[in-house]
Amino acid sequence: MLIAQISDLHIKPPGRLAYGRVDTATALARTVAALNALRPRPEWVVISGDLTDSGSVAEYTLLKSLLEPLAMPYRLAVGNHDCRDALRAVFPDVQDSGDGDFIQYRETLGALELIVLDSAAPPASGGHLCTARLAWLERALAATAGRPTLIAMHHPPFDTGIAHMDAIGLDPASAAALATLVAAHPNVERLLCGHLHRPIQARFAGTLAQTCPSSAHQVALDLSPDGPSAFVLEPASFLIHNWRPGQGLVSHQVMVDDFAGPYPFFDPSGRLIP
């Protein structure tokens, strides 16, 4: 069973470029086309936050139209660039925990349980998990006991070494509380995060946490402690998570654009091509 993850779409109002430079709408349209072209196709697409750039109704309206051609159902998480009320206004069917405050929900996706967690803390860029969200997560995890579970959330719960992004990461107290809950539930197969606009993995609380690249612009790789905040237009990509019963979740990074190939390693007789 395949689940795709895309992230950090940063959709602007129609005709506007992100940071005056990035056509995020065209980037998402390309990503949707690439997802639709996959064979076999993923059964679901999880979108791990920063759906829009400034959380306006105009941006969510454009986002909805750009996602319309997607051949498979999608599930939304919020990031620090999102606005819950505007999102709900345009996507009235978005699930939430029922408490009215946060966009977080639990759902069965085939053999897997998906828990979408709301780590946004507007107007801050950093992430936070308050007592209410942690209590909800504890109940959600209790309900998934024994079943392989994915937790999707925008802010990764680990430092990446990209200093300006770590400065707006999940706050340490929230990460510690999350670690306690996750460590008590060994059925948590993976934490699927966004925010970093890069593919990064780290061990976390007995499981693996990873971040998904952006469909548009990527954060510049700079591991110096005083590296400036900057983005690069490296090739856009996304993740395909392949659930393999008996083994677990195996994840691949997939480039959105086409490149030369594929070429055979062997000639028709089976000999290795020198």
Binders of Fe ion among residues 93 to 112 (CB under 5 A) are: none
Q: Go through 178-195 and write b for each residue having 16 or more CB atoms within 10 A of its CB, e for each that does not.
A: bbebbeebeebbbbbbbb
Binding mask 168-197 for Fe ion (x = CB under 5 A): ------------------------------
d(CA 274, CA 265): 9
Of 7 and 207, CB closest to Fe ion: 7
- Identify which of 120, 229, 126 has the alpha carbon closest to the alpha carbon of residue 170: 126
CB-nearer residue toward Fe ion: 97 or 126: 126
- Closest to 72 in 3D by CA, of 49, 103, 38: 38
Q: What is the smallest separation between the CB atom of 80 and Fe ion, expressed in angstroms?
A: 7
The sign one gets for the Cα dihedral 87, 92, 98, 99 is: positive
Distance CA 45, CA 27 (A): 16
Query: Of the ranges 3-11, 155-163, 246-254, 259-267, which one interacts with Fe ion (CB under 5 A)?
Result: 3-11
Give the nearer residue to Fe ion in terms of CB position, either 50 or 59. Answer: 50
Number of residues that bind Fe ion (CB under 5 A): 2
Binding of residue 50 to Fe ion (CB under 5 A): yes
The nearest distance, CB 113 to Fe ion, in angstroms, is: 26
Q: What are the structure tokens assigned to 125, written together?
A: 């860029």
Q: Is 59 in the site for Fe ion (CB under 5 A)?
A: no
DSSP 4-28: EEE----BPSTTPPBTTTB-HHHHH
**Under the criterion CB under 5 A, does residue 113 sit at the interface with Fe ion?**
no
- Piece of 8-16, 146-154, 224-232, 255-263 that binds Fe ion (CB under 5 A): 8-16
Nearer residue to Fe ion within complex by CB, 61 or 80? 80
Question: Least distance to Fe ion from the beta carbon of 236, Å?
Answer: 13
Minimal distance in Å, beta carbon 25 to Fe ion? 15
* Cα-based distances in Å from 67 to 9, 62, 64, 72, 223: 11, 9, 5, 10, 34
| Site for Fe ion contains 8 (CB under 5 A) | yes
Closest CA to 74 of 111, 126, 127, 31: 31
Nearer to Fe ion, 233 or 250 (CB): 233
**What is the smallest separation between the CB atom of 30 and Fe ion, expressed in angstroms?**
17
Q: Which stretch binds Fe ion (CB under 5 A): 6-14, 28-36, 145-153, 168-176?
A: 6-14
Of the pair 18, 141, the CB lying nearest Fe ion is at 18
Cis bond upstream, residue 40 (ω within 30): yes
Q: What token pair was written down for 188?
A: 């948590």
Q: What is the Cα–Cα distance from 200 to 197, expressed in whole angstroms?
A: 9
Would you say 42 or 156 has its CB closer to Fe ion? Answer: 156
Residues that bind Fe ion (CB under 5 A): 8, 50
